[in-house]
């Protein structure tokens, strides 16, 4: 049974890095492979990565990074959803490696207050990322469509409390 659509943020507090493995395994998988400290750097990297997909998560979900989604991934609204602009740009620049390590621990109902036309599911995956000597979580929102390709819709860097 899917979780209520409005419980995503509450469930994030239950995530712990050991879901992904030992401390050493998490340290290895969460280390960023590239750096982007601003919107332009992140955008340039995302444009390059968009041609490489699709990406498959550790949970087995395959999704494409669409070129038309790039501006949304680095928009002011998206950056504001993360705890730090720099962490957000770093997560965006490493979207391929992070998504490969992402788990989907819960399924959620569709939010009835959003446009769900043609949408099969809005899925939320999480991956650990090293940030200034600690592990933070990166949340991916993926839109799965009935008759179109599944795509990465958003990315957020979230601090674990």
pLDDT at 161: 63
CB 35 within 8 A of CB 129: no
Percent of the chain clearing pLDDT 70 (strictly above): 99
- Whole-angstrom distance, CA of residue 77 vs CA of residue 105: 25
Write down the mean pLDDT value for the chain: 93
For residues 128-139, give the mean pLDDT. Answer: 95
- Whole-angstrom distance, CA of residue 79 vs CA of residue 2: 28
For 66-107, the pLDDT digits (tens) are 998 999 999 999 999 999 999 999 999 999 999 999 999 999
CA angle, residues 78, 89, 97, in degrees to nearest 5: 105
Q: How far is CA 132 from CA 25, 45, 90, 135, 154, in A?
A: 18, 21, 11, 8, 22
pLDDT category at 28 given cuts 50, 70, 90 is very high
- Whole-angstrom distance, CA of residue 79 vs CA of residue 85: 5
15's CB contacts (< 8 A; 6+ apart) are 105, 126, 137, 160
Would you state the structure tokens that stand for residue 71, as one six-digit string?
A: 């501006």
């Amino acid at each position: 049974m899917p979780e209520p659509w409005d419980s995503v943020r509450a469930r994030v507090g239950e995530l712990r890095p050991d879901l992904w493995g030992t401390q050493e395994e998490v340290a290895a998988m969460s280390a960023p492979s590239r750096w982007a400290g601003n919107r332009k750097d992140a955008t340039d990297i995302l444009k390059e990565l968009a041609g490489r997909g699709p990406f498959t998560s550790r949970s087995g979900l395959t999704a494409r990074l669409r070129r038309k989604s790039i501006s949304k991934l680095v928009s002011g609204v998206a950056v504001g959803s993360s705890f730090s602009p720099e962490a957000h740009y770093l997560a965006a620049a490493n979207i391929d490696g992070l998504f490969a390590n992402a788990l989907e621990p819960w399924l959620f109902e569709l939010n009835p207050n959003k446009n769900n036309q043609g949408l099969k599911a809005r899925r939320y995956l999480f991956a650990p990322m090293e940030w200034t000597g600690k592990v933070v979580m990166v949340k991916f929102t993926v839109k799965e469509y009935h008759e179109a390709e599944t795509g990465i819709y958003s990315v957020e860097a979230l601090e674990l409390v």
